[in-house]
Structure 1
Amino acid sequence: MALSNDVHIPCTGKMRRSLPLLQRLSLFSLVVLFFLHTCCYGDVGTAARYTPPYLPTACYGSDISEFPASNLFAVAGDGIWDNGASCGRQYLVRCISASIRDACSQNRTIQIKIVDYVNGMPSPPSASNTTMILSSTAFGTIANSSTNSPAINIEFQQV
């Protein structure tokens, strides 16, 4: 008598119906994971704005070539300064709310570069004790230009 490695398992109707359920659960799980990864991965903080002069900086001194051509840059507050390690870091930033209604430009996210530290800035920020201070161009891109809000609430993520 020859032995066979083939095993025959009869398929019942219950197993056939459960496969689509498993597929749906797997798909649902992937969608949830994708949503959590893309929507809820940033930190929340506050941002003020500042205007020129922007030089000198704690990160680059008077080297203007370190500033992005887009003028989308920021000053690190104490919470993200990290003893100077934040110099050159890039962040995705979006406005999520402010004390003034409709201050945020909806669905606007910018990428900024850290170029300075709040202690020793060459010009004063519009508000103190914020996570970061955005250049006037960066602030105006994610907040409505007509807003008089000195600070906005932001979501930010290091790139």
Structure 2
Amino acid sequence: MKMALAKSSVVVVAAMVMVALVSSVAAVPGIATFYTPPYTPSSCFGFEDRGVIIAAAGGGIWDNRAACGRRYRVSCTGGTNDVPNPCRSGSVTVTIVDFCPGCASRGVTMDLSQEVFARIANPDAGRIRIDYTRV
């Protein structure tokens, strides 16, 4: 009886670990650039000022306007050009407020506000590799 109880406890613990692993979201790699003010009007919110911790979505995450208002945690993972070590530590959680129509042709996932880009990378880089996760 004790052996059966011990085995079922192991199964329960293993199942809990699997659920935790499956529910955790892995970061997705991408490319980011930045755009400068003014940030209004935006495709999602018109002339409503949504602050500066924002981004425009490339076609891959735009989802026919469904991305409007979604939030993503973004961090710099590396450069794409000659600027050495462009990344700054940490991440920023942005809100999608606009569509970036030119992003697809440039292979860009997100066009970050200038303020967000400067928090996670050297603006001189202009274009960086990122990891992003929907939050």
**For 1:73-92, what per-residue CA distance to the aligned partner results, in whole angstroms no more than 9, with x for missing partners?**
00001111000000000001
Whichever residue aligns with residue 126 of structure 2, its letter is P
Number of residue pairs aligned between Structure 1 and Structure 2: 125
2:99 to 114, 117, 120: 117
User: For the Cα contact (< 8 Å) 1:48–1:128, is it kept in 2?
Assistant: no
Larger Rg: 1
Within a 5 Å distance, the mapping from 1:67-106 to structure 2 comes to: 67-68=50-51, 71-99=52-80, 100-106=83-89
Q: Give CA-to-partner distance per residue, 1:102-123, whole Å, 9 cap, x none.
A: 10002x1110000000139xxx
For structure 2, list consecutive stretches of 5 or more residues without a partner in the other structure: none
Separation in structure 1 between the aligned mates of residue 26 and residue 107 of structure 2, nearest angstrom? 23
Q: Which amino acid aligns with 2:113?
A: S
Q: How does 1:4-153 map to 2 (within 5 A)?
A: 41-64=26-49, 67-68=50-51, 71-99=52-80, 100-106=83-89, 108-119=90-101, 128-144=106-122, 147-153=123-129
Distance 1:76 1:117 in 2: 5
What is the CA RMSD across the aligned residues, in angstroms?
3.1
Mapped partners of 1:140, 1:129: distance in 2: 20
Identity %: 34
User: Once the 2 structures are TM-superposed, how far is the Cα of residue 50 of structure 1 from its aligned partner?
Assistant: 0.5
- Give the match's secondary structure for 2:124: coil
Instruction: Give the Cα separation in 2 of the matches to 1:138 and 1:36.
Output: 30
Q: Give secondary structure in 2 for the equivalent of 1:148.
A: helix
TM-score (norm 1): 0.66
